[in-house]
Structure 1
Amino acid sequence: MPDKRAFETAKRKIIGVDRQRFGIGTLSEKTVHAILKNYYEPDEDRHEIPIQNYVADIYAEGEIIEIQTRQFDKMRGKLGAFLPLYPVTIVYPIPHEKWIIWIDEESGTLSKRRKSPLKGNPYVIFPELYKIKMFLKDPNLRFRLVFLDMEEYKLLNGWSKDRKKGASRYDRIPTELVREMEITCPQDFLQFVPLELKGTFTSRDFAKAAHISLPLAQTTLNILYHMETVDRVGKKGHLYLYETKEG
């Protein structure tokens, strides 16, 4: 269970009770990263610890925690250095419910916040897992998916007439810690197989059951097959047939 009181403490520490006093995006690191780092380790003496020519976000009691919001491929060097020595947990934040706020760079005014119709789901981590596929079976590697309600601030600097398409994300401000999911061993990947998938199924069946796109379902199944969660047992047309592996 997430410790919501500790999360509120970390949030206040980074952005204050009234974040407008500090301004958005004025910190040296983005707000989601900074809050989660303080949530998982309030003692700043354990932050930014040099290990094997790299810097760990958190090192405490013989374990490393890395907060990574995207671009897992940039962690390959770190993982190659850290994993032979210590257990490593990668914390991956996922927007649960998100409100968009637009910033006009010229006037500095903020739009009213608008709720995004998109809701975060755990499968969004799989394209990132694919980038570090070579490390996934290492027994020292773990993952924690953190679902956060958040406000996302975007600059009105896009190429479309309303300046929204292609616009830059400025910062994300977490408002609430909703839940956490953990992957601590290969068996934990089984939680990503929808329960209604009995017998054999294709990536198209998986996409429908998981309510995700076909390309995302195919990437997910690539990793689940690699982790021996599912077997490939044939083909149906040009699609592989899968079934959940026994045991």
Structure 2
Amino acid sequence: MNTLLFEQAIDTVINNPRMESGIGTLSEKTVHAVLKNYLAPNQSCHEIKYQNYYADIVTPEGIIEIQTQNFDRLRKKLPVFLKEAPVTIVYPIPHIKWLRWVDKESGEVSPRRKSPKIGKASLILPELYKIKDYLNDPGLKLHLVFIDLEEYKFLDGWGKDRKNHAGKADRIPVGLAKEIFINSPADYQLLFPEALNDTFVAKEFSKAAGYGSIALSSALKVLKQMEVIEQTGKKGRAFLYTRKN
């Protein structure tokens, strides 16, 4: 982890003319841009056309794709890229987050308010289900980057305070907390929720990981596929799972 290099990447992006048009008007979101400059300060490596697809970063060591969500967008790229070079998927996770509200009409920005949630590695699991067919490919690696950031949201939602279902403007990184590298099937153990017992039911996993029923099902399937957990019976009417050694 290189916090100084990350700070330099933030400075490169924030002080770039791309920021002059303001929050919420950028074609490339700030987290994505900062990560590109952190992982490859040489911008000639950015946005390279490779086998009829554009890759975020191409270096002699391989291809880097930064994906903040919607891993299904990688389904067409991955089989093409993996035939030619190793691929690392970089997934940013908000570590400590401060929320700020933007009034579109006045341009006023609220003071920042700290979220009580702390980012967890298990957040990537539901997204990985969308590319489950490639997880065992020896050329595919994952890189989780935990970022402290400010999230800006528009006051354009429902309700008196206009915050319900409000639109997201941008997320501005302020620091690098830690990084996790998944380089082999054994490393998928690092995605197991820290607060969870080795034997558990789905409801307990959901609470420890912090997501709902649809994401829960996908996450459990990924961990079973990568042999992190196995189904070992039932506890009442619920399936019982055990973490494998």
Q: Report the TM-score when normalising by structure 1.
A: 0.89
Tell me if 1:203 matches 2:202.
yes
Runs of 4+ that moved beyond 6 A? 19-22
Q: How many residues align?
A: 242
Cross-structure match for 2:210: 212
Tell me if 1:4 matches 2:3.
yes
CA displacement at 1:220 relative to structure 2: 2.4
> For residues 159 and 206 of structure 1, what CA distance do their matches in structure 2 show?
32
**Counterpart mapping for 1:88-237 below 5 A:** 88-193=87-192, 194=194, 197-198=197-198, 200-207=199-206, 210=208, 212-213=210-211, 215=213, 216-237=215-236
> For residues 119 and 240 of structure 2, what CA distance do their matches in structure 1 show?
27
> For residues 20 and 72 of structure 1, what CA distance do their matches in structure 2 show?
27
Task: Decide whether the 8 Å contact of 2:230 with 2:241 is kept in 1.
Answer: yes
Q: Deviation per CA, 1:176-200, whole angstroms, max 9, x where unpaired?
A: 00001111111011223348634x4
> For residues 232 and 109 of structure 1, what CA distance do their matches in structure 2 show?
52
Question: CA 1:238/1:213 → structure 2, altered by over 3 Å: closer, same or farther?
Answer: farther
Cross-structure match for 1:30: 29
Q: Report sequence identity in percent.
A: 50
Task: Decide whether the 8 Å contact of 1:204 with 1:214 is kept in 2.
Answer: no
Q: Report the TM-score when normalising by structure 2.
A: 0.90
> For residues 32 and 86 of structure 2, what CA distance do their matches in structure 1 show?
20
Residue ranges of structure 1 left out of the alignment (5+ in a row): none
Question: CA 1:211/1:126 → structure 2, altered by over 3 Å: closer, same or farther?
Answer: closer
> For residues 183 and 237 of structure 2, what CA distance do their matches in structure 1 show?
33
Cross-structure match for 2:56: 57
Residue ranges of structure 2 left out of the alignment (5+ in a row): none
CA displacement at 1:237 relative to structure 2: 3.5
> For residues 141 and 200 of structure 2, what CA distance do their matches in structure 1 show?
28
Task: Decide whether the 8 Å contact of 1:15 with 1:22 is kept in 2.
Answer: no
Question: CA 1:236/1:5 → structure 2, altered by over 3 Å: closer, same or farther?
Answer: same
CA displacement at 1:53 relative to structure 2: 1.0
Task: Decide whether the 8 Å contact of 2:196 with 2:204 is kept in 1.
Answer: no
Cross-structure match for 2:81: 82
> For residues 185 and 19 of structure 2, what CA distance do their matches in structure 1 show?
44
> For residues 55 and 224 of structure 1, what CA distance do their matches in structure 2 show?
30
CA displacement at 1:3 relative to structure 2: 0.2
Task: Decide whether the 8 Å contact of 2:95 with 2:147 is kept in 1.
Answer: yes
Task: Decide whether the 8 Å contact of 2:89 with 2:142 is kept in 1.
Answer: yes
